[in-house]
Structure 1
Amino acid sequence: MATLAHAQIRGRPTVGGQAPRGPSQGWWVSGGAAGVVMGTITDGASSARWEFGTTPQWQARGTIEKALDIATTLGVSAGYGVMNVNVSRLAVPGQVTPDPRAVCINRCDAQLETWQLMGQFRSGGSPGFHTYFEAQGGVNGFRNLRTRDSTAAPIGPSTTQMDFAGSLGFGFGYTLSPGLVLGLVQDFGMGWHSQEKLPSDASRTYRTRATRATLRFKF
């Protein structure tokens, strides 16, 4: 009887205690940087083409994710950066010559604040070296388009423009510890810009490519 009683006491959970958190529970947060290449955007609001070039430009990025099981998370990602852009005048129907009062009449170097807010689905992972897949959908935002000189003169309206956007990515990761993972992701995406004031033959879609380095923590 003593042996049985002792076994029952050892197997009984501690009063007021909590069961250990399993691998499918908890939250993940991540932070990192991305080298982004963005395609040319035709913008009717500023009557200009935004040419970002082929050189990657830096953005900061972070996520918060809920673990659905040992290899799957669902969460939100956010990114922000200031990107250099070459602005050229867009021909507007009925306008023969540009307005002489306009800033950046023909072509000029400028800067543009960019941000992203997207829902994210992530699948994959294991101890040690592993691969994983990411899918995102949400919005790209653009604001504060200004000349890249001492005047920093605004070009076009000052309102924030938001585009529907999405991307798919494939990544490689390495588990440094059960709650710490280093990752490198290559993703490809597409955005849909506003049609407002665009010429009928102008495309409103653009492509994006990003290489992202991230450090993920579980809590």
Structure 2
Amino acid sequence: MPQRSLLRVFRPFGLAALLSGGLALASSLTAAPALAQIRGRSPTSMPPRQSGAPGWWFSGGASGVVLGNINDGATQSTWSFGNDPLWQVRASLEKVLEGRSTLGVTAGYGLVDVALTPFADAAVPELPDAPCLNGCEAQVELWTAMGQFRSGGGPGFHSVFEAQGGVTVFRNLRTRSDALPIGNKTQQIDLSGALGFGVGYGLSNGFDVAIVQDFGMGWHSKTDLPSSLERTWRMRNTRASLRFAF
């Protein structure tokens, strides 16, 4: 067959092969940059990993509470806690919200000393024995149970803000010398709340230490309380805690 005839026969097949190869090359050149762009995306453009982020925090520690005087109608006396700190153990369980904020519950317990002084115009003395009719040294269990909002955290030093609200409970008021019960109530429950400010230090992503100073107040029962006496009391609390994430 003449050479020109052969060229006419195979020319369409050559053009088709050339076109197919060009399309394949263009497709590979387009896909490569796209894949490289996906693999090379900057950390700021990619969503943060959430799988390893802690969901809960647990804390444990101690606190030194300074309580103001409390006027108590049930015992017809003023409770004086003095100016020295009253020691409590304290724990909290917190659920992580967005960012560095948590919402949780706290509880504290301590056995503290208190001095009782009868009201000057007490109608019926409720103090237990003759030596205590003019005042006595006593002890009472100091319980706290509150809801808490917390903001602050991260590596290194950081500021901390906390807001709490709940109850402060005084249980088993007894004379210090011979443990005689005082009054006719085994416990008194006061509404109370506090705001706290402090500093923390993150040792790792799931472990830090914090020191917080609380300022708060409470509302004691006004039952049998003379109208000339206040039912509110003040509180200052310094807390140190270790916090663990899980």
After TM superposition, the score normalised by the length of structure 1 is 0.86
In structure 1, stretches of 5+ residues that fail to align are 12-18
Moved more, 44-53 or 98-107: 98-107
Q: State percent identity of aligned pairs.
A: 55
The structure with the largest alpha-carbon Rg is 2
Give the structure 2 partner of residue 183 of structure 1: 210
Please state whether the residue corresponding to 2:97 is helix, strand or coil.
strand
* Aligned residues of 2:211 and 2:239 also touching (Cα < 8 A): yes
C-alpha distance after superposition, 1:110-137 (max 9, x if no partner): 1010101100000112211100100000
| From 158, 164, 175, the counterpart of 2:191 | 164
1:83 paired with 2:112, answer yes
Match of 2:51 in 1: 21
C-alpha separation in 2, matches of 1:192 and 1:26: 34
Shift of 1:91: 3.4
1:37 is aligned to: 66
When residues 94 and 100 of structure 1 are mapped into structure 2, their CA distance, relative to the original with a 3 A threshold, is closer
Q: What's the secondary structure of 1:69's corresponding residue?
A: coil
Runs of 4+ in 1 over 6 A off after TM superposition: none
CA deviations over 1:7-52 (Å, ceiling 9, x no partner)? 9xxx9xxxxxxx85354x5000100000010000000011111100
Q: CA deviation at 1:69?
A: 1.7
Q: Does the 8 Å CA contact 2:128/2:182 hold for their aligned counterparts?
A: no
Determine which of 229, 233, 241 is the counterpart of 1:202.
229
Where is the strand percentage greater, Structure 1 or Structure 2? 1
Structure 2 residues without counterparts, runs of 5 or longer: 1-27, 40-48
Equivalences for 1:90-109 in 2 at 5 Å? 90-92=119-121, 94=123, 98=125, 102=129, 104-109=132-137
Counterpart in the other structure of 1:130: 158
The two structures, once aligned, show a CA RMSD in angstroms of 2.2
**Cα deviation, residue 70, structure 1:** 2.4
Aligned to 1:117: 145
- Closer/same/farther in 2, CA of residues 145 and 164 from structure 1, 3 Å limit: same
Partner of 2:20: none
Higher helix share: 2
Conservation of the 8 A alpha-carbon contact between 1:88 and 1:106? yes
Q: Which residue of 1 aligns with 2:167?
A: 139
Q: Name the aligned partner's letter for residue 35 of structure 1.
A: G
